[in-house]
Amino acid sequence: MPIALNLQRRAWVVVSALILLIMLPNLIWLYVGHVSTTWISGLIVPVLLLVFLFAVFGKRLWLACLLLAPFAALAPVEALYIAAYHHPTSAEILATLGATNPRETYEYLGSAMVPILACMIAGLSLALLAARWTWQSAICWRHRSRAWVITTFMTLSLVAGIVVFAIPARLRAGAHLISELSGSIEPGYPFGLLPRITEYYSEWRQVRINASHLDAFRFHAHRPSAHAQRQVYVLVIGESSRRDHWQLFGYQRATNPELTKVPNLIPIPNMVTSWPISISAIPLLLTRKPITDMQMSWKEASILRAMQEAGFDTWWISNQLPMGKFDSPVSTYALEASHTIYLNHVSMHSAGSYDEVLLQPLRDVLQKTHGDLFIVLHMMGSHLSYDMRYPAAFKRFQPTYDNTNNSVLPGLRFTNSYDNTILYTDHVLAQVIGILRDSSAMTAMYYASDHGEALLTPTCSSAGHGIGTTYEFEIPALFWYSDTYAATFPERLSVLRTNADKPTLSADTFESLIDMAGVDFPGHDPSMSLFSAQWRYRPRIVNPIWQVDFDKAVFSKKCSIVLPPGADTEH
């Protein structure tokens, strides 16, 4: 057999293997996926685009192989991710990886790191080998079908351009068409990786630009008195947790079996947030932003900056995503921390990243650092979908929403799933307290949810948050302290116990944390601090649709939506 012919056959075999490797993530997605659109994004679109790529470079197939080399190296990683989480990566996941340092990545992957790297090297080698052999053998796509493919693609692209840009009456429909086409490309591999990277780079760059606008801001915070013992304070931000489903606050179900047994715990049973969505509610916990301010941004830095100025090493450890429509503004404040760790490698709509992932980094920070610490833990908490927020061991209230038990009303199954998330939050918070209690430092933990949640009821079909029901504004909050904190600051605890039952706001958190840690700065307002005898009641303005004084509001009969006095409550 001629040597040239033998090389050509080997070249075609290795090119076929390269194409199979490139398509591997899509094939796995098709296997684990359960929706018909997966076939479009995971098979039809990638195959057509690969055919077009090889048609364009038909006379230089080696160049097409070379262009696919980076995707061949990343294909095993994408395939493993889809096999684990049953969906492709996204711009948000890329942001998590981008915000993770190499040491954290190694700890997360553990023993899998070596085989993953080996697979990446093998994928890259396969692509380079395909490029070399196709070049050496000079194989190419000579058949006239190549011209048909190119002509068809170019014609369709030209027609689409005319529809979108040249016919005014179709502009809106054309834009929608392009959006649909783009949406079909992005989930697939390898071509969908390009828009994901572009979106990640663009939005993460904007997050950093927004954060840089606060770089020059200073509170000029300091600690008037020093303490010899190490101090560690933790702020835990909950997610979508409504107060009336906490056993600690009177719920009939045992959703807080661990916290109800924890000593040194001060519940704060009458707190409300002014906003029912995270993007507006979280800044009230972290900053001095007014509760009626409707702008997404705020001119001042957060509690992280104040604590940093006062000598605390600051950490932001999150089980939420660093980027997204509702996450990017929060990340602007997270970047003020000296250290940021993002741990969620899945998505808001997938199981697998439970809030216990926050515990080991907390232990590591306590063990590997020696100075005073201020740490923010950002939980996934009770965010929809509820059954994805807790491991199987906490599936105590059944049947849950993901069960197919049609004999039980969806509303009850919905509530069971939600109550399991509260049960799991109880466990995680008890674990955080245990870690702090077992350390040698003087420690304390302040917990508050960003907002609450509306659940299905016989009279209300609305669920989630952003609706404006009373349950979205009434949030759980609590404070735990170590024995050494109690011995050192008994007057602070005495005042907190006095103020805890009063009608408070999540917007009191910033000034409360300042007093909790013994920090001061020019402009500090003790009248908003629950640790100060100067704390005073302010109208608790909430923002369902319009601004309403919560303590004077009326509530609709069907969904308990917050309404101004005198409004019609029948709907």
Give the pTM: 0.85
Contacts of 476 (CB under 8 A, 6+ apart): 238, 241, 242, 243, 246, 248, 249, 267, 271, 447, 448, 449
Q: What is the DSSP letter of 163?
A: I
Distances from the Cα of 460 to the Cα of 464, 467, 543, 545, angstroms: 12, 11, 20, 18
| Secondary element (H or E) of residue 315 | strand 313-318
**How far apart, in whole angstroms, are the C-alpha atoms of residue 550 and residue 419?**
25
Euclidean distance between CA atoms 537 and 507, whole angstroms: 12
Cα(25)–Cα(41) distance, rounded to whole angstroms?
A: 12
Q: 268: which strand partners? A: 477
What residue type is assigned to position 320 of the chain?
A: Q
Architecture of domain 224-563: 3-Layer(aba) Sandwich (3.40)
Q: Which amino acid is at 270?
A: N
CB 321 within 8 A of CB 342: yes
Residue whose token pair is 């908490």: 381
What dihedral angle (degrees, nearest 10) is formed by the CA atoms of 197, 198, 200, 202? 160
pLDDT at position 199 is: 83
| Cβ contact 99:364 at 8 Å | no
Three-state DSSP class for residue 520: strand
Domain spans of the chain, in order of start: 3-200, 224-563
Whole-angstrom Cα distance, residue 81 to residue 353? 13
In tens digits, what is the pLDDT along the chain, a chain of 571 residues? Answer: 455 558 888 989 999 999 999 999 999 999 887 666 688 888 888 999 999 999 999 889 999 999 999 999 999 999 988 887 788 888 777 777 666 655 655 655 666 778 889 999 999 999 999 999 999 988 888 888 888 888 888 887 777 666 555 555 544 544 454 555 556 788 899 999 998 888 888 877 877 787 788 889 999 999 998 888 999 999 999 999 999 999 999 999 999 999 999 999 999 999 999 999 998 999 999 999 999 888 877 899 999 999 999 999 999 999 998 866 555 678 889 999 999 999 887 766 667 789 999 999 999 999 999 999 999 999 999 998 899 999 999 999 999 988 876 677 778 889 999 999 999 999 999 999 999 999 999 999 999 999 999 998 888 888 888 889 999 999 999 999 999 999 999 999 999 999 999 999 999 999 999 999 999 999 999 999 999 999 999 999 999 778 999 999 999 988 999 999 988 877 6
Neighbours of 447 (CB within 10 A): 26
The two tokens of residue 410 are: 């969806």
- Give the single-character DSSP code of 1: -
Query: In angstroms, what is the C-alpha Rg of the chain?
Result: 28
Q: In 86-170, where does DSSP find H-type helix?
A: 91-98, 102-109, 113-137, 145-161
DSSP for 169-238 reads GGHHHHHHHHHHHHHHHTTSTTTTHHHHHHHHHHHHHHHHHHHHTTTT-----B-SS--SS-EEEEEEEE
Q: Is 480 helix (H, G, I), strand (E, B) or coil?
A: strand
